[in-house]
Chains A and B, each alone.
Chain A
Amino acid sequence: MRDRLIFAGQLLFTLVVAAFLIVPAVLSMVAGVTENYFRGVRSGLTLQWVMQVWELYADTIARSFAVALITLGVTLIVGIPAAYALHLRGGRLSRAIEEIITLPLAVPGLAIALALLLTYGGFSDFRRSSLFIVAGHVVFTLPFMVRSVMAVFALVDVRTLDESASSLGASPWRRFRDVIVPNAIPGILAGSLMVVTLSLGEFNLTWMLHTPLTKTLPVGLADSYASMRLEVASAYTLVFFIMIIPLLVAMQVFADRASHQGARR
């Protein structure tokens, strides 16, 4: 009886996931390769919409990846030392700083974008470049990097490792390079995965910050929904999936392997 209930529950859950997550995604992707959406798949399959998307929006795809990678680079360079410093210092000040860094999670993206525009909108070269979007993405994704690295630091007692490396003669920079970073790899990978995913999919902040010449993938998607045939927009979704899924899978595998190593410790 109990087993039946569990089975029924699991089945229901699976069906709900399928109905609201998988089916719509698949339908949307199929629409992207359908000759005429209103007549259905019977009207025939075509790649013309995909080609059209590629012609119109290839630059947004490239830009999105560039923005995501630069964002990742900045969060790595800023986030890991920040996590190291916050963890080692400890105390009330560190906690306050951690809270401030985390604030963008609670504040709506639109509000952050508006604040950035008010403050830096006047620097027109900066405002017009993709770096403006990178700035927004860094503000939004940094807490994820800092938090996941700090979680690992707490786990491996990085403070004592740091002290023991210093007793062996290692300068702060050598300690950071030889001991701190290698032992934080699982957290760094998990953080990177989050940062890249969030940056690629980020819409509301980006929508405020973009210019017609600095559209990213999700902004382009909104644009195509608003101004193109439904088939084109759907083809765009298809392209989005094809681009992002292999990347996510690769990073997941990478992170799994690293955290397995971490667990064995």
Chain B
Amino acid sequence: MNAFHGVSVRVEACAKIFADGTRALEPVTLDVARGETLVFLGPSGCGKTTMLRIIAGLETPDFGGRVLFNDADVTGIPIEQRNVGMVFQSYALFPNMNVAENIGYSLKIRGVGKAERAARVAELVALTGIEGLERRRIDQLSGGQRQRVALARAVAARPSVLLLDEPLTALDAALRERLRWELDRLLRTLGITTIYVTHDQAEAMALGDRVVVMRKGAIAQVGSPRDIYFAPTNRFVAEFVGAANLVEAHAVDGMLSLPGGRMMLADTKASGDVVAMIRPESIGLVAPGAASLSGQVERVSFVGDRQRLTVSGATLRPLIIDAPNTLDVKIGERVGLMVDPHAVRVLPGEHA
């Protein structure tokens, strides 16, 4: 398959208020590099799908907003002339066409000859691993197969940008995980500019070069998966992406005073009321006397690959801690808590 194809995408001051007065999107400006996979992540109603539909050309941004592909303004161009590929949550495969006809439809529209079309369809069928299903009707396919057909159909005409709207949400958990890897491999192979919308943070982490976390129609944070996980810039991102302990406390010279002891911050000059975020897996359990912070185990929940503990008494609100699955802890036991100062993230601009 050809290496990088695709365009850079720029969204400029795009806002959207629907006819019924709902504000779906605050003015958003954003750049997507050529060949990059950008994921919009957020709860339902955060504006991520509206964003995708504006880029696709299914919605027009409110006055003043612009969408640019490779620096050319496409705001006024209808979707059918934008050369995009799109995968819908429901897949929207055509029931009146079989698998091969679905995949080849965009080529037929573009007047590609029969032989060339068949060759391209065969190539995509092989790439997505659905050999042997070409003559099947859509209602004879499983959910996973439909997802693959939808993807093959979307990329058949070598679109400049691939848009995916929650493409894995309709599948069950085990299949979702497998298809996520497959999708990742495929996007890397294609090297196409991809914009992906999901409410599943694991999906966003696994697939995105960059993740845009959205909330109430505005961008909460943009960054690499590692950035948004380890260095969230606000409480919403910290809590929405993975599990997080938010500790509200008073700091004096980089030291937090807590009900169960003290905790060091990496920044030794930090003072005043702060909100500090600690991921459950970055708290280590030690003997009660061996750490400056301690608490009491309130609940143990064994989930197989690890166990999740709730420890109270250390901070105002109970801490959630992920401990190795081999560790023997009992409810009521007193434990020491070891936290690397660099794993404690003080959320900027947040006050307790």
Is the CB–CB distance between B58 and A163 below 8 Å?
yes
If the complex has contacts A169-B83, A169-B157, are A160 and B88 also in contact, measured as CB distance less than 8 A? yes
Q: Given A169-B80, A183-B95, are A163 and B88 also a contact pair (CB < 8 Å)?
A: yes
A171 to B86, CA, bound (A): 16
Number of contacting residues on B, CB 8 A? Answer: 28
CB distance from B74 to the nearest CB of A (A): 14
A178 CA to B109 CA, complexed, in Å: 10
Tell me whether A169 and B95 are in contact in the complex, defined as CB-CB below 8 angstroms, given that A157-B90, A160-B88 are known contacts: no
Q: Which of A160, A166, A179, A265 contacts B80 (CB 8 A)?
A: A166
> Which among A91, A164, A171 is the interface contact of B92 at CB below 8 angstroms?
A164
Q: Which residue of chain B has its CB nearest to the CB of A172?
A: B80
Closest to B138 in A: A265
- CB of B240 within 8 Å of the partner chain: no
Q: Is the CB of B92 within 8 A of A161?
A: yes
Quick check: is B56 within 8 A (CB to CB) of the other chain? yes
In the assembled complex, the Cα of A199 lies from the Cα of B164 at a distance in Å of 48
Using an 8 Å CB-CB cutoff, how does the interface string of A160-184 with B read, 1 for contact, 0 for none? Answer: 1101111111110010001100110
Which chain B residues lie closer than 8 Å to A163 at the CB level? 58, 79, 86, 88, 92
Question: Digit string of B57-89 for contact with A (CB within 8 Å is 1, else 0)?
Answer: 010000000000000000000111101111010
Check if B138 sits within 8 Å of A168, measured CB to CB: no
Residue pair B157, A168 in contact (C-beta under 8 Å) = yes
Query: Please, how many residues of chain A have a CB less than 8 angstroms from a CB on the other chain?
Result: 21
**Pairwise interchain contact A169-B154, C-beta atoms closer than 8 A:** no
Please give, as numbers and ranges, the residues of chain A lying within 8 Å of B85 by CB-CB distance. Answer: 167-168
- Give the contacts of A206-223 with B (CB-CB under 8 A): none
B326 at the interface (CB under 8 A from A): no
Check if B106 is an interface residue, CB within 8 A of chain A: yes
Option from B78, B90, B96, B105 in Cβ contact (under 8 Å) with A160: B90
A168 to B19, CA, bound (A): 27
Q: Shortest CB–CB separation between residue A96 and chain B, in angstroms?
A: 16
Known: A167-B58, A171-B80, A264-B139. 19 other contacts (CB 8 A): A156-B95, A157-B90, A161-B94, A163-B58, A163-B86, A163-B88, A164-B93, A164-B94, A165-B94, A165-B105, A167-B84, A168-B106, A168-B109, A169-B110, A174-B109, A179-B96, A182-B96, A183-B95, A265-B139
7 A-B pairs with CB atoms under 8 Å apart are: A91-B19, A161-B94, A166-B79, A167-B163, A168-B80, A170-B109, A182-B94
Binding site for A on B (CB under 8 A): 19, 56, 58, 78-81, 83-86, 88, 90, 92-96, 105-106, 109-110, 138-139, 153-154, 157, 163
